[in-house]
Amino acid sequence: MTRFALTFEFDGTPFQGLQRQKHGPSVQQAIEDALHRTTGEKAVLHSAGRTDTGVHALAMRSHVDLDKDIAPFRLMEALNAHLRPDPIAINHCEVVADDWHARFSCVGRKYLYRIVNRRAPLALARDRAWQVAQELDIEAMQNAAQALVGRHDFTTFRSVHCQAKDPVKTLDRLDVVRAEADFGPEIHFHVEARSFLHHQVRSMVGCLKLVGQGTWAVEQVGKALAARDRAELGLNAPPHGLYFVEAVYPAAD
């Protein structure tokens, strides 16, 4: 038995999320089906994180255990061949130690959320970013975001369907910056933590957008956090602007 670590990107638009679902296609199912066609084995994919319907990934990290003796490069090439035409690409494959786990060995997760801040409809960036026509105050959003950094009870910013036992999380980074791009002025939210609650990033971005447009005062984000009440949430940002960027592991890994 050999444990392989996979790094892959995907467009989440046609999927019901990363994790296998009973009611629709998933990234996990697509990769596991490709693994079966490649090796004849019914392997299970274990991933560093989960994503909702429509959420994308730039470098998701997963692992799979296989009996077949196959070189990592050949496994990667075969999987990419079998994954076509699904918008999933395995861009790295390597053998790892038997005790290395894509989820439980992970010590940090990074996300990016994209807002395209323009009036014209999105053509090339459609389903890749949240379009907001009204000009947003980036400085106000950045100031408001800092109330969320640190260890807090994030009940206000978690989905009612969240399965986490504890709403207390430590948010290591939440920065709001302007990024000029081909599609027009963009606002990027860089978010980092060891782990996240269901919808946490989207809920935080949604409330910060209200600050940017002047609907909420800067102080209201901190007040919503302190309320520890989902009813105090102002807005949940749509999924298609969210990207899983990176899974972080100890240097020895």
Cβ neighbours of residue 81 closer than 8 Å, sequence gap 6 or more: none
Residue closest to 106 by CA, chosen among 150, 46, 177: 46
Tokens of 34: 């490709």
Taking the CA atoms of 12, 13, 19 and 20 in sequence, report the sign of the dihedral they define.
negative
Active site residues: 52
CA 156 → CA 57, 87, 148, 196, distances in Å? 25, 34, 11, 13
Q: How many CB atoms lie within 10 A of CB 143?
A: 16
